[in-house]
Amino acid sequence: MSKVSGPPFEGIDDPPKHLREFAAECMELAQTTPSPEKRMMYLNMAALFHQMAGRRETEAGRGYAYGIECAF
């Protein structure tokens, strides 16, 4: 697994909006999957995307837009 640092949302107008959309999509998937394991995975992903959106908004308010380091 490599770490990617730098502006992960470079070129995206409103990163928190997109992260919240990802969270909403995960919530929809959680509601439609019959698998309890997948449901939990989607709910965890939704919570993470929501948390990331909040961090981006907080950092943008402090003038620090690219402080999140992603590991993929």
Better pLDDT: 3 or 28? 28
The string of pLDDT tens digits covering residues 14-47 is 888 999 999 999 999 999 999 999 999 999 999 9
Which amino acid, residue 53? A
> Whole-model pTM?
0.68
Q: For residue 33, give both structure tokens.
A: 């999957």
Q: For residue 19, give both structure tokens.
A: 């992260």
All residues at 6 or more sequence positions from 47 whose CB lies less than 8 Å from its CB, including other chains: 23
| pLDDT at 56 exceeding the cut of 60 | yes
Better pLDDT: 2 or 71? 2
Confidence of residue 11 (pLDDT cuts 50, 70, 90): low
Q: Cα separation of 57 and 39, whole Å?
A: 27
Q: Cα separation of 64 and 31, whole Å?
A: 35
